[in-house]
Amino acid sequence: MNLTLIKLFGFFLGLFISLFIIEYFNITNKKIEKFETSSPAIIPDNINISNDITPRDVPYKKYKYMCISTYFNNKQINNSEGRWYECHANIKELSAMNEKDYFSFKTNINFKPNTMNDDGANGATINGIELAGPKSFFFANNISTNEINEFSMLMTTKIKNLKANDNIIFEMSGNTETILGEKNAPPTYITSIININFKLNNSKNYDIIITIGDVIYKGHIDNIDKNIIKNNDFLNIGLIYSPKQVIFLLNKQRFTYDTKESFPIKLGASPVIINKGGIIDMDLYNFIFYKVALPSSEYDNYYKFNNYHLSGLHTAIINNEKKDEEFKREREEFINQNTYNNIQEKINKPIVIPPISPIPIDDKKEKITPLKLSSPKEEVDSPLSFIVS
Helical spans, DSSP H, in the chain: 3-33, 226-230, 300-310, 313-319, 324-335, 338-348
Phi, psi (degrees; rounded to nearest 5) at 356: -135, 155
Q: Answer whether residue 302 shows pLDDT above 70.
A: yes
pLDDT at 300: 83
Highest mean pLDDT among 55-59, 321-325, 345-349: 55-59
CA separation, residue 247 to residues 84, 90, 217, 265 (Å): 28, 33, 10, 17
Q: Across residues 246-252, what is the average pLDDT?
A: 93
Calpha distance 152→142 (Å, rounded): 15
Q: Across residues 78-92, what is the average pLDDT?
A: 90
pTM value > 0.85: no
pLDDT at 340: 47
Calpha distance 285→265 (Å, rounded): 29
pLDDT at 231: 79
CB contact at 8 A, 191 and 214: yes
Q: Between 49 and 94, where is the model more confident?
A: 94
Picking from 168, 150, 145, 125, the residue whose alpha carbon sits closest to that of residue 65 is 150
- 30 band by pLDDT with thresholds 50, 70 and 90: very low
Least confident of 249-258, 342-351, 363-372: 342-351
CB contact at 8 A, 102 and 84: yes
Indicate the average pLDDT of the chain.
Answer: 76
Highest mean pLDDT among 25-34, 99-108, 322-331, 365-374: 99-108
- 20 band by pLDDT with thresholds 50, 70 and 90: very low
pLDDT at 73: 85
pLDDT at 389: 26
Question: pLDDT > 70: what percent of the chain?
Answer: 63
pLDDT at 334: 55
Calpha distance 117→138 (Å, rounded): 37
Q: Between 144 and 263, where is the model more confident?
A: 144
Q: Answer whether residue 10 shows pLDDT above 70.
A: no
pLDDT at 181: 66
pLDDT at 6: 58
Torsional class of 139: left (φ above 0), alpha (ψ -120 to 50), beta (otherwise):
alpha
Q: Could you read off the pLDDT of 106-116 as tens digits, one per residue?
A: 999 999 999 88
Q: Could you read off the pLDDT of 148-166 as tens digits, one per residue?
A: 999 999 999 999 999 999 9
Q: How big, in percent rounded to 5, are the helix, strand and coil portions of the chain? A: 25, 30, 45
Highest mean pLDDT among 43-47, 79-83, 142-146: 79-83
Q: Across residues 112-135, what is the average pLDDT?
A: 93
Least confident of 117-131, 217-231, 346-360: 346-360
Q: Between 187 and 132, where is the model more confident?
A: 132
Q: Domain boundaries in the chain? A: 19-44+60-348
Residue 308 sits at the vertex; the CA angle it makes with 305 and 313, to the nearest 5 degrees, is 160
Calpha distance 341→207 (Å, rounded): 30
Q: Could you read off the pLDDT of 257-278 as tens digits, one per residue?
A: 999 977 889 999 999 999 999 9
What residues have CB less than 8 Å from 82, skipping those under 6 apart?
104, 105, 106
Residue 229 sits at the vertex; the CA angle it makes with 150 and 253, to the nearest 5 degrees, is 50
pLDDT at 264: 87
Q: Answer whether residue 361 shows pLDDT above 60.
A: no
CA separation, residue 159 to residues 24, 104, 110 (Å): 41, 21, 15
Q: Answer whether residue 33 shows pLDDT above 70.
A: no
DSSP state at residue 236:
E
CB contact at 8 A, 108 and 79: yes
Q: Answer whether residue 24 shows pLDDT above 70.
A: no
Q: Across residues 131-144, what is the average pLDDT?
A: 94
Q: Between 258 and 319, where is the model more confident?
A: 258
Picking from 144, 370, 139, the residue whose alpha carbon sits closest to that of residue 267 is 139
pLDDT at 212: 95
pLDDT at 188: 72
- Per-residue b or e along 306-332, where b marks 16 or more CB atoms closer than 10 Å to that residue's CB: bbbbbbbbbbbeeeeeeeeeeeeeeee
Domain 19-44+60-348, CATH: 2.60.120.200
